[in-house]
Amino acid sequence: MAVFEGAGVAIITPFHEDGSVNYEKLGELIDFQIEHKTDAIIICGTTGESATLTMDEHKAVIRYCVQHVAGRVPVVAGTGSNCTATAIELSQDAEKDGADALLIVTPYYNKATQKGLIEHYSMIAGSVKIPIIMYNVPSRTGCNILPETAVAIAKKNPNVVGIKDAVGNLSQTALMAHLADGCLDIYSGNDDEVLPCLSLGGKGVISVLSNVMPEETHNMVRDFLDGNVERAMKFQLDSIPLSKALFCEVNPIPVKAAMNLMGMEVGPLRRPLSEIAPENREKLRTVMTDMGLLK
């Protein structure tokens, strides 16, 4: 059984102006997502600026999210690290705090070999009992889980049940789906490739777009899975300009800017991320207005 089916939001982490985590606002965002049909909350992922959270903050944000969600939808906790021991510690704590599943990014910077990736994921999987979704985003990590490796990890470790595929190579996705033969749930990691992923047997998307359009993103996936392909395709194609605009600078710079434009007051970014350039803010504003998100 899949951890979730549909659109899970890669939720941002809101900060106060002094840079501290704004837990009250995080609670509001979680409620907003659930009220607008989001199928899962993915906390402390890339979009949540996990790389700038201290270990204590990382654990506290996951704990708060689990407690606030209170079982309404699955909580998938981002607990990956470029250090296997750190990933194990974060994963074990998230499991103790009640997370439903884990999202484990490939170890960044180290450039692990495929053998190293098998050992890394197997050690983490062996340290917990809850399901694990691998996260493959080589554009950010410099490390690509090859299809054969992803399937080998899943077959070796029964609790490795899925992969967030943000490679941007549908040929690789197709080969992985072929080799997995159902042993690995595939989630699109790119908002502009959701339907192609679903057409290859994918279960849904872990979405940046859902931060600003949760119900519409959920409906797109649900429509496709229910056979309403034309309606799903219309939103997929109509939302392409916004999906592109949300990556006009490195994620999550644009999505936080978009949420602030919508009046959500999610606060600043943590350095080394800087605020969006004025010209990109205006491009984003134009696209959002065209999508009906701004007046």
Catalytic residue set = 135, 164
Write the secondary structure of the chain as one string of H (helix), E (strand) and C (coil): CCCCCEEEEECCCCECCCCCECHHHHHHHHHHHHHCCCCEEEECCHHHCHHHCCHHHHHHHHHHHHHHHCCCCCEEEECCCCCHHHHHHHHHHHHHCCCCEEEEECCCCCCCCHHHHHHHHHHHHHHCCCCEEEEECHHHHCCCCCHHHHHHHHHHCCCEEEEEECCCCHHHHHHHHHHHCCCCEEEECCHHHHHHHHHCCCCEEEECHHHCCHHHHHHHHHHHHCCCHHHHHHHHHHCHHHHHHCCCCCCCHHHHHHHHHCCCCCCCCCCCCCCCCHHHHHHHHHHHHHCCCCC
Given a contact cutoff of 8 angstroms between Cβ atoms, the answer to whether 126 and 156 are in contact is no
Task: Give the separation between CA 135 and CA 148, rounded to whole angstroms.
Answer: 15
| Residues forming a β-bridge with 185 | 162
Angle, vertex CA 69, rays to CA 63 and CA 75, nearest 5: 70
